[in-house]
Amino acid sequence: MAHSKQLKHRIPVKLRHNWKLLALCVAFLAACWGVFGSGTIRPYVTTARAAEADTVTTNLTGTKNLFDASVAHEVQLTFTDQAYEDMLTAYFKEGEKKYVEADLTIDGTRIPSVGVRLKGNSTLAGLTWRGQSKQRAMTGGGQRPEGLPEGFRPPGIEQRGNGGPPGGGMMRSALKAEEPENLPWLISFDEFVEGRRYQNHSQVAVRPAATGSTTMLNEALGIALVGASGEPTQRSAYSSFTVNGRSSSPRLVVEYLDEGYAEGLGDGVLYKSLATGSFTYKGEDQTEYTTDFKQINKVGGKDLQPVIELVKWVNEASGTEFAEGLAHRLDVQSFARYLALQHIMANFDDMAGPGKNYYLWYDSGTGKFKVITWDLNLALNGDATSGVNDTITMGGFGRGRPQQDQQQGRPPEGFTPPDGGEQGRPGGGGMMRMGHPLKEKFLQNATFKKLYEEQYRALYTNLLADGTASGLLDDLVAAYKLNERADTAKADAEAKTLRTFLRTRIETLRSDKAITGA
């Protein structure tokens, strides 16, 4: 009895007084374990958020419309040497694209404390710094750059591909960290100052100036052609560009698909396809898709569930179910036009390419998706002699098999796997994930393929045959030449090559049976 009293007094007084509450909690936890077992409870957003995370507090107007191509522009970046060295160290050691704080001046408007970081994946693969090459990571010498498909590296070719721009398919990069004025940059206006935008943009991209095309006329023309087709595109303009007092030839400044861009599309959610991911159903756990898609707007108010449902349905639907149900989930006319546009521009790196370059727009009103074009640095660079139903292959290696037969996981014909890997074999060193289930199923269906060919004929007539593309190119060359340090000879030479590409494309497609209707 005395021993029992001693044990009792060792228990804290508050615990002795509240033992009933403790017993109730223990019983509740035991009941939860009995009901849920070892299952994981995952939080999902089901109601609208109370406050927008991307609330705009400052929207700078500037002195000129950033994407007005009829006037010259000037962009100046300034950051400390130490910040730049820290950024490069993080990228070369960890593959991390770290933001650094910088001061920015656009067309005379000074904007302090913006965030800047390196932009791109394969573009940066050949970046060198102090004699060290980042491309070692692509050939087994280190960590692969973030987002780059396993086993992928640009082919070491220099020849032109049937009228394409100089440098072959994957335009060889010659980027040096010692020349920051030539690097690809992403500029964030709200990275260090929350809620700030510039002309409703939270981010803009500055394209590189040391690839196969220093003027990036092919990308600028690709962007313009998408816009002329009536599909959502990005705006772009040329600008003189200076980093820490070092100047380059005019750079192409491109609109980034950010929250402001999504607002312009209407009421819905914008999702970016990531180069690290796939279009594969992985179950209902949304955390399994973090390497596949990134949500751009309404974060906290909406989630990935619409994308997961689309991925599951596309992968599991039978041929009949796909034919009957796709129009309820996707804007099929827009998608047919998207596929035709990529093919007309001989863009190897579209949604089915290694970079998986596309966005998905989910319209809350219709409940349908739309595929949006993204990253056209390889547009107008493939085989200009490809027919309407041929696969566009990398580097202008020639016409491939019918594109509806393109299989996911197989590289294009002519691709040499790195390190002796076997093409298309899972686990092989040359494995490069290609293809897209949505694109393949769409083109395998007779009804949808007919719609694709109808859109192709219309685009051929309205963009190529009537001279629209050629006129857009003339305007872009003139816009480039407005800016300081413009290399007029280079611009004229690259424009001439693009005109040859366009003529070859017109001549090839003119006799294609899908165009003639024969």
Parallel/antiparallel/unpaired status of strands 293-295 and 358-363: unpaired
Percent of the chain with pLDDT over 70: 74
- Report pLDDT for 213: 80
d(CA 190, CA 393): 39
Q: Which of 266-270, 425-429, 507-511 has the lowest mean pLDDT?
A: 425-429
Question: Is residue 256 predicted with pLDDT exceeding 90?
Answer: yes
Question: Is residue 392 predicted with pLDDT exceeding 90?
Answer: no
- Report pLDDT for 427: 32
The mean pLDDT of the chain is: 83
- Report pLDDT for 313: 98
pLDDT in tens, 27-47: 766 666 665 555 444 444 433
Band the pLDDT of 260: cuts 50, 70, 90: very high
pLDDT in tens, 453-477: 999 999 999 999 999 999 999 999 9
- Report pLDDT for 433: 58
- Report pLDDT for 125: 81
d(CA 392, CA 373): 16
Q: At what angle do helices 468-481 and 217-229 cross, to 10 degrees?
A: 130
Helix, strand, coil % in the chain, rounded to nearest 5: 40, 15, 45
- Mean pLDDT score, 188-207: 97
Q: Which tops the pLDDT comparison, 439 or 7?
A: 439
Q: Which tops the pLDDT comparison, 36 or 280?
A: 280
Q: Which of 231-245, 371-385, 386-400 has the lowest mean pLDDT?
A: 386-400
Question: Is residue 442 predicted with pLDDT exceeding 60?
Answer: yes
Q: Which tops the pLDDT comparison, 12 or 499?
A: 499
Q: At what angle do helices 305-316 and 437-444 cross, to 10 degrees?
A: 40
Q: Which tops the pLDDT comparison, 431 or 30?
A: 30
Q: Residue 89 to residues 80, 84, 118, 159, 173: CA-CA distances in angstroms?
A: 14, 9, 12, 34, 20
Ramachandran region, residue 342 (left: φ > 0; alpha: ψ -120 to 50; beta: rest): alpha
- Mean pLDDT score, 480-487: 97
Band the pLDDT of 120: cuts 50, 70, 90: confident
For 397-400, the CB contacts below 8 A with 24+ separation are 397/161, 397/169, 398/162
- Mean pLDDT score, 76-91: 96
**Residue 42, number of CB atoms within 10 A of its CB:** 9
- Mean pLDDT score, 334-347: 98
- Report pLDDT for 209: 78
Band the pLDDT of 363: cuts 50, 70, 90: very high
Give 253's strand partners.
Answer: 206, 237
CA Rg value for the chain: 26
- Report pLDDT for 203: 97
- Report pLDDT for 21: 67
Tokens of residue 491, six digits: 């611009």
